[in-house]
Chain A
């Protein structure tokens, strides 16, 4: 019997529904099924970052020169390369979602692997950039512009690392299942949407910190 024995007071009204792996998730009428709760999280996190963007720009109004100085130290080419890296990883993850839907797991695994490699490339480039900046004496102690640069990119990097763990979990799940077995849709969808959010946030961060700040 799969039903665990709990003391009386822990039982839900006397009835424990047995495990129902793969229980169907309700799809809202019209359009393709999405998990609205997931979007509560995504839009919420986007809004948190939106406030970060506004905070940085509001701070810049009081002393634009500091932000110009910071942007002039940043390497725009580095930032551009990282943007392209993340955009490409988003592409591979989007294609992997499509492959998972078509139950082409080998293809999905290859695409997810590529996405993971690009994610790690981004992280390595970012850390390299940090190392160069700190070696040249540009730390958050230098000015409020660097405070914003390091905290916003740092929080973004943390998001990216969480996304990397999620991608690895999804990849493992796809590999364990082998070819042609359906992968749980809601997890795959959540990981993909989260990953695209990481990409989306970097697009704005790149524009604000590297380009607009220098104007």
Chain B
């Protein structure tokens, strides 16, 4: 029994897709740092002059940083793809959760990049009427922080999929399911950004931007690395891999 399991052709690709998730976060954070969104995002209660200055003072840095972030976030699409594949492979369940995850993951990718493009629209003509810049900035941030629905659906779909995995050795550990539920709850206060211009629940506040950013970054790292670990366990020919048991 030459039990060195040969990895299937897509294995390497899946591993790269998994790591693209954490990679996306790193590139996006660097982009935001360049653009000036970090360390202090433009706030809902900033004056018109402040907002105009944010886009007008160094428009090239804003454009470049946001472009980098949008490009980097492509990794979210790759991560969503590999999560979908691993979820379809979970034995004993209907693939509905996997497909729900795939759809919502695709939507989250869009919801992450469109606001950044709108910020780039604001930075495109920094000399336009100040009110328009403020409106574009509002549009970008209110599109960015409070619509948490697709993110929540993705978290819940992943949790349901993992918890109903009936395999002898589940593809992803059950704690990942509960971590997803927790991340979903951490997104909830973001909804309140519709209602507040200042304080911890406004879009720039600790319970909106910072909590959601931390939660989402942690999520991408958890998903990326647990999926990579599950791929390695299954295909790297380790003697305990369930793939070697079958005749």
Contacts and interface: CB of A to CB of B under 8 A. Distances in A.
Chain A complexes with chain B: yes
Interface of A: 4, 6, 8-21, 23, 35-38, 40-41, 44-45, 48, 51-52, 55, 59, 140, 144, 147, 151, 155, 158
A104 B182 CA distance: 32
Contacts of A38: 178
Given A9-B10, A147-B196, A37 B174 contact: yes
A55 B199 CA distance: 10
26 contacts: A9-B8, A9-B9, A10-B85, A10-B89, A11-B8, A11-B89, A13-B242, A15-B245, A19-B92, A20-B92, A20-B167, A20-B168, A23-B166, A35-B174, A37-B173, A37-B174, A40-B178, A40-B182, A41-B179, A44-B179, A44-B182, A51-B207, A59-B200, A140-B195, A155-B189, A158-B188
A37 to B, nearest CB: 3
A59 B242 CA distance: 54
A13 B85 CA distance: 13
Given A55-B206, A59-B199, A147-B196, 8 more contacts: A6-B88, A11-B89, A12-B171, A17-B169, A41-B178, A48-B185, A48-B211, A155-B189
B32 interface: no
Interface of B: 5, 8-10, 85, 88-89, 91-92, 95, 166-169, 171, 173-179, 181-182, 185-186, 188-189, 192, 195-196, 199-201, 206-207, 211, 234-235, 241-246
A66 to B, nearest CB: 13
A186 B145 CA distance: 34
Given A9-B10, A12-B89, A151-B201, A48 B186 contact: yes
Contacts of A140: 195
B228 to A, nearest CB: 15
A13 B177 contact: no
Contact of B185 (A4, A6, A18, A45): A45
B188 A17 contact: no
Contacts of A12: 89, 91, 171, 234, 242-243
Contacts of B201: 147, 151
Given A9-B8, A19-B166, A23-B166, A36 B200 contact: no
A21 B247 CA distance: 22
7 closest A-B pairs by CB = A13-B243, A37-B175, A15-B246, A19-B92, A41-B178, A37-B178, A44-B182
Given A35-B174, A55-B200, A8 B8 contact: yes
A15 B242 contact: yes
Contact of B5 (A13, A17, A23, A51): A13
Nearest to B175: A37
A59 B201 CA distance: 12
Contacts of B173: 37
Contacts of B185: 41, 44-45, 48
Nearest to A2: B92
B119 to A, nearest CB: 27
Given A37-B177, A155-B189, A10 B88 contact: yes
Contacts of B179: 37, 40-41, 44
Contacts of A20: 92, 166-168
Contacts of A15: 242-243, 245-246
